[in-house]
Amino acid sequence: MRKILLTVLTLSLLFLIGCSDNTIETQESIQETPGVPLSLTIATLPALEAFPIFIAYDQGFFSEEGLEVHLEQFFNPRDRDVAFQTNEHIDGMVFDLVQMMIYQEAGIDLVATSSSIGTAAIIGIEGVSSLEDLRGQSVLMTSNTSMDYIVDRGLASVGLSMNDITVDEVPALPTRLEMLLHGQASGAVLPDPFVSMALEEGMNQLVTTHDLGINPFVFAFRREVTRENLEALHAFYRGINRAVDFLNTAEPELFLDMLMETVGYPEHLKDSIVLPVFPPYAVPRPEIVQDVLDFTHARGLTTQEFTIEQLVFDIGN
C-alpha cells in the first residue's frame, strides 16, 4: 500500500498577510483578456476526486479542447498548500470548502468553481455498526477540517454532538487506518481509497457524505484566473466532463492501472474496486456552502461575513 501522508492545513500555514477585498462579482462583469494562452496548472493529490483530471490528461481530452494542463502532483496537503502559497503559477487545486474558507479568512483569494466527487465515510470497528454506537467512544480524525465537519454533521444526524465522543487527533490517513484496524479506536473518518481498505478488512461503514447529503469537496481556483483566463476554465471543464463520460461508460480494464497508480488503491483490491458514478461537474450547492460556512463560524475558523457569491464562481457555459 502506498503510504500517503495526509496532514491538515492549519492557520499557521496561512502566512500571507492581508484581507480579501470581498468584491462581489458576476460573470457579466468578467472581461477575458485577449491573448491569454489556454494553459492551467493544477495541484493534485492522490484522491478519487482528482482521477477525472488524470483521465482527461491521459486520454488527450484537454489537448483536444485546446488547453495545455500542467499537473503538479503532491502526496500530502501540507506540501500542496505551501507550494500554492509560494508559487503563483499554480492556478487551482483539488480542495475542500473548510480549508478554502480558512484561506479566505487569511486573505488568500480562492473561489470554488465546482464540487468534486470526493467522498468520505465514518467507519466503525467490529461491534460498532451505527453512529449511535460511537457515544462515549474514541474517533480518529483531525479537528477543524472537512473531516471534522463530516463527523459533526454525521453525529448531528442521529441527535449526537461532538461532546458525545472522544476525538483522537491523527492527521496521517495511513496511521489512522492502521490504528482503526488494530482496535485503537472505535471509529474513524476516512476518504477513499482508505474506506475501501477498511471495508476489505471487515470494518463497518456507518455513514457516508452521500448518505448525509453533504459534499465539502471542490475544485478551487485563484480569483484572478476567473478574471483573466476564463476561456481556459471553460476548456478545463469540457475536458473533465468528457473524462466523466469515459469513466462512466468505459470498461474498467481501460483505466484500472491508472486508478491504482494515481489514487493509491492497493494492488490486492484491483479486482474488487467498485467506482461510483461520476456526476457532471457543477457549482457547489448554496445550502452546502452556507452549512460549511456556519461550521467554520461556529469553530472560530472564520470571523468575516462571507457571502456565497464571494466564495463560489459559476463559470457558466
The answer to whether 108 and 14 have CB atoms below 8 angstroms apart is yes
Q: Residue 76 has what pLDDT? A: 81
The number of C-alpha atoms within 13 Å of 133 and in the hemisphere containing its C-beta is: 17
> What cell was used for 60?
488527450
Q: Residue 37 has what pLDDT? A: 60
Q: Residue 11 has what pLDDT? A: 33
Domain edges within the chain? 11-117+215-311, 120-212
CATH number of 120-212: 3.40.190.10
Q: CA-based Rg of the chain, rounded to a whole angstrom?
A: 19
Q: Superfamily assignment of 11-117+215-311 in CATH?
A: Periplasmic binding protein-like II (3.40.190.10)
The answer to whether 274 and 48 have CB atoms below 8 angstroms apart is no
The four Cα atoms 1, 175, 178, 196 give a dihedral, to 10 degrees, of -60
Q: Quick one: which of 191, 10, 229 has its CA closest to 94?
A: 191
Q: Quick one: which of 90, 266, 288, 265 has its CA closest to 192?
A: 265
Q: Residue 249 has what pLDDT? A: 96
Topology agreement, domain 11-117+215-311 and domain 120-212? yes
Q: Digits of tens for pLDDT over the chain (317 positions)?
A: 333 333 333 333 333 323 333 333 433 343 444 454 699 999 998 889 999 999 999 999 999 999 999 999 988 888 888 999 998 899 999 999 999 999 999 999 999 999 998 889 999 999 999 999 999 999 999 999 999 999 999 999 999 999 999 999 998 888 999 999 999 999 999 998 899 999 999 999 999 999 999 999 999 999 999 999 999 999 999 999 999 999 999 999 999 999 999 988 888 888 888 888 998 899 999 999 999 999 999 999 999 999 999 999 998 86
> What cell was used for 268?
490486492
The pTM score is 0.83
